[in-house]
């Protein structure tokens, strides 16, 4: 609490400094304009006062000017920033013309324009053609010229001011407060040049505040100041230079034009931000995307309020946007859905403009769900168990036709069963799957289980007694996959379609491997850490139960909602008793692959996944039905996934996924270099520590290629943390830092000879 108060105090102090500098610098040019002469030099200088104030404030706070959101951002909002203000101005003055409050065109003005651009005397050139040519020039060259001055205002108001306010206020609060300040900044000019001061101040404030909502929305959505710069310039040019000049007006029009502008702004803005509703609760944005009524404000807060897992004490919390994070991590696409009170509140597809070769995707596009396949398989089997078609506690060998599980630690009294397979306690060798290139023939389930020639995973073995040890096992799920096919004498995808995908309404999901060619145009292709597309676009996974599901955020949200509904005794595919039994089967905070988080009376379940080129995750509170699903087509997606969960927790006030407090610690380069090497974690998995001399930082590498850049922190041992995920790595002082603890398990450094080539 004290930390939040300190952060808020710091933000208000920053805002006060900025506004004070704006007021002082602007006062000089307000005086010059009012008392000397309203020259373009003074007006231009006045419009650059907010930019100067922002830059001085950043310098005083030790923050870079590069933080002013210079990137162009999403081009959708660049386009809207031009056409929307042009549209509402045209609509306004068309109404004035239609109601007889003004005439079109103003012949005198047309002749002046013709003279200015030397169109007089060219054939029989009419005033109308002169107007058309002039409007085209003003709407292009004139707008570019106007941007030179509006850039000064927008660097301050939208590039800096609203981002500071966002740390303290909601979207509506930011838009309203910044709009009032922005309008107030103009008051000396309105007072001096206005006729009816009260009327003009009132109408001007209404228009400016309503524009503020639109410009704030576009700025946050694109995470760029340029939409606001263009919007401001277009609005100025069309109002001041085009429409008001070419229309002859009656005395009444001046009193009505601001009111009409406001009404047009509202109508055009609403039209540009929404589409006709699909039903009473949702609206369609793109194909199959969802926006529940009233969801926009918090959606924008999440989109521009991405934060890391770790809050370093003594430092301000730096926010980023989804767009910026996707660029930073080289992520081409993100399928994202937020669940609120057991309903999909909104779902959207995000694409990175830096990957123009990627086809257009929408919310119906599919990603590899990776290990999210496992809980879908388990819940389908749970339905079969409830229907009396299988027995989760029966020896699985009784269901197998052509495969005999090699004798290991299992016994007749303590056999491998569906239940201990799905709960990862079967004792079968653990590990994930690598997938197969699209040009390779896929092995059968029997080949995978036997580790036959051409298979890139070892044969399964029961290496520990069943029900004794929790060990994540993809191989065990492949055994269950074969057993279900033997039971139903049907292909696995058809079994899953019947028992879970169709009943849950997961209309775009499919377990088929390889994916039918007819669906290839729906796929978000997988990408490597370096941002290169996988050969063929993706790998195939014959291990369908463990890793073979294709899906998206909307479909996986439907799956989670079915679990939530069952837990709370609502209409669902599953029984309440089955889901409550599932949640009670917890070992080391896990239940059938789900991570179970409890906070007071709140219970949330979470599951993650990772295939080559894809990272996925989903969570839902079984108490209040709040959750989130993400599917990302990049090996770098894990960091963004964790940040999405953390940021959603802040925006939607969840009980889980909270920031970790840590304090940075200086560690010498010599000590860091001494940690370089290969390590064996949990006696099974190879990890690697490298050192980056440029950034004076170590990184932890996992077998799947994930890199965790570690930051040294204050702790009992030589402690490090991964800021994006909060994962802690502690090197032991007792053995001179030749081992470290990770996820509660120990990693031991291998012989020095294996370290020779590490850097």
Per-residue model confidence as pLDDT tens digits over 60-95: 988 888 778 887 777 778 888 888 877 776 776 666
Ranking 5-14, 280-289, 311-320 by mean pLDDT, the lowest is 280-289
- 61 and 87 belong to one structural domain: yes
Q: 594-599 and 282-283: which strand pairing?
A: unpaired
Q: What is the DSSP letter of 655?
A: S
Half-sphere exposure of 208 (CA within 13 A, CB side): 18
- 626 and 720 belong to one structural domain: no
Of 73, 650, 78, residue with least CA distance to 324: 73
pTM for this one?
0.68
Cα-Cα end-to-end distance for the chain? 42
Is residue 315 a part of any domain in this protein? no
CB atoms within 10 A of CB 374: 28
Q: 627-632 and 660-662: which strand pairing?
A: unpaired
- 508 and 375 belong to one structural domain: yes
Q: Residues 6 or more apart from 117 whose CB is under 8 A from it?
A: 130, 133, 134, 137
pLDDT value for 42: 84
Is residue 324 a part of any domain in this protein? no
CA dist., res. 641 & res. 306, Å (int): 10
pLDDT in tens, 468-522: 988 889 999 999 999 999 999 999 999 999 999 999 999 999 999 999 999 999 9
Q: Name the domain boundary from 617, 640, 661.
A: 661
- 360 and 499 belong to one structural domain: yes
Is residue 340 a part of any domain in this protein? no
Judged against a pLDDT cut of 70, whether residue 264 lies above it is answered with no
- 57 and 182 belong to one structural domain: yes
- 638 and 717 belong to one structural domain: no
- 654 and 705 belong to one structural domain: no
Is residue 299 a part of any domain in this protein? no
- 751 and 674 belong to one structural domain: yes
pLDDT in tens, 121-132: 544 456 667 667
Judged against a pLDDT cut of 70, whether residue 585 lies above it is answered with yes
Is residue 227 a part of any domain in this protein? yes
CATH number of the domain enclosing 716: 2.40.128
Give the pair of three-digit tokens for residue 378: 């388990």
Is residue 334 a part of any domain in this protein? no
Of 256, 504, 204, residue with least CA distance to 380: 504
Domains: count for the chain: 3
- 462 and 430 belong to one structural domain: yes
CA dist., res. 46 & res. 147, Å (int): 14
Contact status, residue 653 vs residue 361, Cβ threshold 8 Å: no
Helix (H, G, I), strand (E, B) or coil at 748: strand
CATH number of the domain enclosing 526: 3.40.710.10
- 593 and 686 belong to one structural domain: no
Q: What is the CA radius of gyration of the chain?
A: 31
Q: Residues 6 or more apart from 114 whose CB is under 8 A from it?
A: 120, 125, 127, 130, 134
pLDDT value for 193: 65
- 183 and 62 belong to one structural domain: yes
Burial code (b: 16+ CB inside 10 Å, e: under 16) for 451-462 equals beeebebeebbb
Judged against a pLDDT cut of 60, whether residue 755 lies above it is answered with no
pLDDT in tens, 271-303: 444 433 333 322 333 546 888 877 888 898 899
Helix (H, G, I), strand (E, B) or coil at 121: coil
pLDDT in tens, 628-650: 999 999 999 998 999 999 999 99
Q: Name the domain boundary from 611, 631, 661.
A: 661
Q: Name the domain boundary from 628, 661, 694.
A: 661
Contact status, residue 555 vs residue 509, Cβ threshold 8 Å: yes
Domain around 704: 669-755
Is residue 497 a part of any domain in this protein? yes
- 139 and 268 belong to one structural domain: yes
Q: Residues 6 or more apart from 448 whose CB is under 8 A from it?
A: 455, 457, 475, 478, 542, 543
Distances (CA, A) of 212 to 149, 154, 180, 217: 18, 11, 9, 8
Judged against a pLDDT cut of 50, whether residue 178 lies above it is answered with yes
């Amino acid at each position: 609490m004290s930390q939040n108060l300190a952060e808020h105090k710091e933000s208000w102090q920053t805002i006060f400094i900025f506004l004070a500098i704006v007021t002082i610098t602007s006062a000089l040019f307000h005086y010059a304009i009012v008392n000397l002469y309203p020259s373009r030099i003074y007006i231009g200088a006045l419009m650059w006062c907010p930019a100067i104030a922002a830059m001085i404030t950043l310098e005083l706070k030790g923050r870079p000017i590069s933080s002013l959101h210079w990137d162009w951002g999403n081009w959708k909002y660049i386009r809207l920033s031009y056409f929307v203000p042009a549209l509402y101005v045209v609509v306004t003055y068309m109404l004035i013309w239609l109601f007889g409050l003004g005439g079109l065109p103003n012949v005198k003005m047309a002749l002046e324009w013709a003279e200015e651009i030397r169109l007089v005397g060219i054939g029989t050139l009419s005033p109308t053609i002169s107007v058309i040519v002039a409007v085209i020039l003003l709407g292009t060259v004139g707008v570019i010229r106007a941007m030179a001055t509006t850039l000064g205002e927008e660097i301050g108001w939208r590039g800096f001011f609203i981002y500071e306010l966002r740390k303290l206020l909601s979207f509506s609060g930011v838009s309203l407060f910044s709009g009032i300040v922005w309008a107030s900044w103009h008051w000396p000019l309105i007072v001096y040049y206005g006729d009816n001061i009260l009327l003009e101040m009132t109408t001007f404030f209404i228009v400016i505040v309503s524009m503020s909502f639109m410009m704030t929305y576009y700025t946050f959505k694109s995470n760029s100041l340029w939409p606001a710069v263009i919007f401001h310039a277009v609005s100025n040019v069309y109002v001041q230079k085009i429409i008001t000049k070419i229309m002859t007006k009656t005395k009444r029009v001046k009193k009505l034009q601001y009111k009409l502008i406001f009404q047009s702004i509202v109508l055009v803005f609403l039209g540009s931000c929404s589409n006709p509703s699909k039903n009473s609760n949702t609206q369609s944005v793109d194909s199959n995307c969802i926006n529940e009524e009233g969801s926009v404000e918090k959606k924008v807060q999440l989109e521009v309020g991405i934060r890391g897992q770790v809050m370093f004490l003594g430092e301000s919390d730096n926010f980023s946007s989804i767009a910026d994070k996707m660029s930073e991590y080289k992520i081409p696409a993100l399928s994202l859905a937020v669940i609120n009170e057991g309903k999909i509140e909104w779902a959207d597809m995000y694409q990175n403009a830096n990957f123009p070769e990627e086809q257009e995707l929408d919310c119906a596009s599919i990603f590899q769900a990776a290990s999210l396949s496992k809980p879908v398989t388990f819940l389908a089997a749970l339905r079969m168990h409830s229907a009396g078609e299988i027995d989760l506690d029966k020896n699985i060998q009784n269901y197998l036709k052509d495969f005999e599980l090699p004798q290991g630690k299992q016994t007749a009294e303590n056999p491998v069963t569906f239940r201990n397979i799905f709960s990862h306690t079967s004792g079968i060798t653990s590990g994930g799957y690598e997938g197969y290139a699209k040009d390779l023939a896929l092995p059968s389930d029997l080949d995978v289980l036997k580790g036959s020639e051409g298979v890139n995973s070892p044969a399964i073995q029961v290496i520990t007694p069943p029900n004794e040890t929790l060990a994540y096992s993809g191989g065990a799920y492949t055994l269950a996959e074969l057993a279900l096919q033997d039971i139903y004498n049907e292909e696995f995808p058809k079994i899953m379609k019947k028992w879970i995908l169709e009943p849950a309404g997961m209309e775009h999901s499919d377990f088929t491997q390889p994916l039918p060619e007819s669906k290839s145009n729906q796929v978000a292709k997988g990408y490597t850490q370096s941002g290169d597309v996988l050969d063929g676009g993706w790998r195939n996974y014959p291990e369908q139960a463990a890793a073979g599901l294709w899906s998206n955020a909307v479909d996986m949200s439907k799956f989670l909602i079915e679990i939530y509904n069952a837990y709370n005794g609502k209409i669902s595919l599953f029984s309440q008793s089955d889901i409550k039994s599932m949640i009670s089967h917890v070992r080391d905070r896990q239940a059938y692959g789900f991570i179970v988080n409890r906070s007071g009376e709140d219970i949330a379940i979470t599951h993650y996944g990772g295939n080559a080129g894809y990272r996925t995750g989903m969570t839902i509170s079984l108490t209040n039905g709040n959750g989130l699903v993400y599917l990302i087509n990049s090996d770098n997606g894990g960091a963004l996934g964790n940040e999405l969960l953390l940021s959603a927790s802040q925006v939607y006030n969840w009980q889980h996924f909270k920031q970790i407090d840590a304090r940075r610690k200086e560690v010498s380069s010599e000590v860091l270099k001494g940690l370089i090497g290969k390590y064996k974690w949990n006696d099974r998995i190879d990890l690697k520590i490298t050192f980056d001399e440029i950034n004076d930082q170590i990184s932890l590498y996992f077998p799947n290629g994930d890199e965790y850049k570690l930051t040294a922190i204050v702790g009992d041992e030589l402690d490090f943390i991964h800021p994006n995920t909060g994962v802690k790595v502690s090197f032991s002082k007792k053995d001179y830092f030749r081992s470290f603890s990770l996820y509660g398990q120990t990693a031991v450094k291998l012989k020095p000879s294996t370290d020779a080539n590490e850097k």
